[in-house]
Amino acid sequence: MKKVCIVMGSDSDLKVMEGCMNKLDTFGVPYDVRIVSAHRTPAAAEKLSKNAAADGYGVIIAAAGKAAHLGGVLAAQTTLPVIGVPIKSSFMDGLDSLLSIVQMPSGIPVATVGVNAADNAAILAVQMLALSEPELTEKLAQFKADMQASVEAKDAKISAQFAK
């Protein structure tokens, strides 16, 4: 199975991105974790994205905050899909990160999830890998069924609680 490359702009993004790693673990999807910055280590960013496909990755998840150019810089130099995770920064509650990642120019998309939505980035990555891994499709179907059962149980509980 191809791996996911989780790239963070800083170790300060780690706490949020642990949610991504945990979710990938539940699906049994292999991943590597890197700290590479579009601004502080641009040569490493270029090397990572240019070699990502040959290094066995099927998708890149790029998490960054503030002027969050990491996802776009990685997407510019690989044909692999790149998923961007905007990290909630100290200013603007992450709106700066979100817009920096999502507003890519035509031709270089970054599939952007919500602010701090590390788990959704993992699920989206699993869905991409599932296109060539039937076993992951089965796990995704079970994941959705479990989620549905959980919400239905909450619905039954709350409707009984407020029944008149």
Between 58 and 65, CB nearer to ligand RP5: 65
Between 2 and 34, CB nearer to ligand RP5: 34
- When binding is defined by CB under 6 A, the residue of 10, 41, 77, 120 that contacts ligand RP5 is 10
- When binding is defined by CB under 6 A, the residue of 52, 66, 86, 125 that contacts ligand RP5 is 66
- When binding is defined by CB under 6 A, the residue of 12, 22, 127, 148 that contacts ligand RP5 is 12
Q: How far is CA 156 from the centre of its chain?
A: 32
> Could you say which residues in the range 25-44 bind ligand RP5, by CB under 6 A?
37
Between 13 and 119, CB nearer to ligand RP5: 13
